[in-house]
Amino acid sequence: DYPSMPLHGCVNDANAIASLLEANHDGSPNFEVVLRTSETAQITRAQLRSDLERLFAHGSDTDVALFYFAGHGTENDLGGYIVTPDFESGDEGVNLSEILSRANASAAKECVIILDSCMSGALGASPSANNNAASVSEGVSILTAARAGQTAAEINGNGMFTELVCAALEGGAADVLGNVSAAAVYTYVEEALGAWDQRPLFKAHLGKVESLRKTSPSVSVQTLRLLPTWFPTADHIFPLDPEYEDTQPNSDPTKVAIFKQLQKCRDAKLVEAVDEEFLYFAAMNSTGCKLTLLGQRYRKLAAERRI
C-alpha cells in the first residue's frame, strides 16, 4: 500500500509464498511463517528492521531462516533498498546491506533472502571489495527478481518472479526425492525467463544445501532403494523380456510390478532403454535397460544407505 506508487500484486505474492512455505506437499509442517501485509497494518521501516533482527537472531538449532519481500525497491549512491510505505526522501526503507549483514551474522544453519523488487540485484554488490556488506558468508543464499538497475514486472495480479518461484516450490524445481532447494528455484526461474525479460540473480556460499520445501517425489524412496538390487553395478544392464509387459498373455505379475517401477524411474530420467527409445519396446524385443548418470548417482546413494 504505497501512497502515490501503488503495486497490485505484492499482497497476493506474500500470501502465496506463505501458504507454500508453511507446509510441505503432504501437509506436514515446514516453516513457521510470520506474514506481514498491508491488509492488516502498514508496514513500517521500524517494524521491518525489528522483524529482520528477530528472524536472523535464531540460533544453530534453526535449519533455515528465510526472508521474503515483495514491494518497491530502489537504488542510490549508498546502495540498494527495499522500500516501505512510510518512505521519505533519503530514508526510503531498509538498506540491502543491512539485511545481508544480519544474515551473515546469523547462527542459523542456512539463511535465504528472496526479494521480488526492482533493483534487488544490488544486494551483495559493492564497489569496494573489502566491504563486508558485499560478502556472502557461508550458509547464506540470495535470490532476487532482477539485477541491479533492473525493474521487476507484475503480471495478472502477481509478480512475474514470484509466480515462477511458487511454481518451483510446488514441484517444478524438485529433485527425484521431492526436495526443493534455493539453487534449484533459481535454475527453474532463470530458465523460464526469456533473454529480454528481467534477469534473476542468485548468490550463495553454501557448504550444505537445505530443502526449502518437500514435494511429492517422482520416484518413491522404496523404489530408489531397490536400484542396487536391480543394478548390482553402475553399468549393469537389466534384462527385459515380454513377460514384463502386462498387455502380453504370458506376462508375469512379479515382473510386471518391477517393470512399472522401472518405468517411473525412466520418467525421472534415472533409467533408459537399451537399443530402443522406450522401455516397452525394450521388453518386447528382449533387450534391457540401464542406469543414466543421474540413476547411477541415486544407486550409489541407495547402496551407501544414504536414502
Characterize 45-80 residue by residue with b for buried, 16 or more Cβ atoms within 10 angstroms of its Cβ, and e for exposed.
beebbeebeebbebeeebebbbbbbbbbbbbeeebb
pLDDT at 33: 96
Q: Which residues contact 105 (CB under 8 A, 6 or more apart)?
A: 56, 137
Q: pLDDT per residue over 181-195, tens digit each? A: 999 999 999 999 877
**Domains detected in the chain:** 10-214 (3.40.50.1460), 221-303 (1.10.10)
What is the SS3 assignment for 281? helix
Q: pLDDT per residue over 271-299, tens digit each? A: 999 999 999 999 999 999 999 999 999 99
| pTM score | 0.87
Question: pLDDT band for position 134 (50/70/90)?
Answer: low
Q: pLDDT per residue over 11-59, tens digit each? A: 999 999 999 999 999 999 999 999 999 888 888 999 999 999 999 999 9
Report angle CA 290, 293, 295 to the nearest 5 degrees.
60
User: How much is the average pLDDT of 217-235?
Assistant: 96
Pairing of strands 201-205, 140-144: antiparallel
Indicate the length of the chain as a whole number: 307
pLDDT at 237: 98
Q: pLDDT per residue over 103-117, tens digit each? A: 999 999 999 999 999
Which residue is listed with cell 527478481?
145
Is the pLDDT score of 128 beyond 50? no
Please state, in angstroms and as integers, the Cα–Cα distance from residue 221 to each residue in 126, 176, 181, 235, 259, following that order.
44, 9, 18, 21, 16
Q: Which residue has the higher pLDDT, 149 or 112?
A: 112
What is the SS3 assignment for 18? helix
Contact between 136 and 196 (Cβ < 8 Å)? no
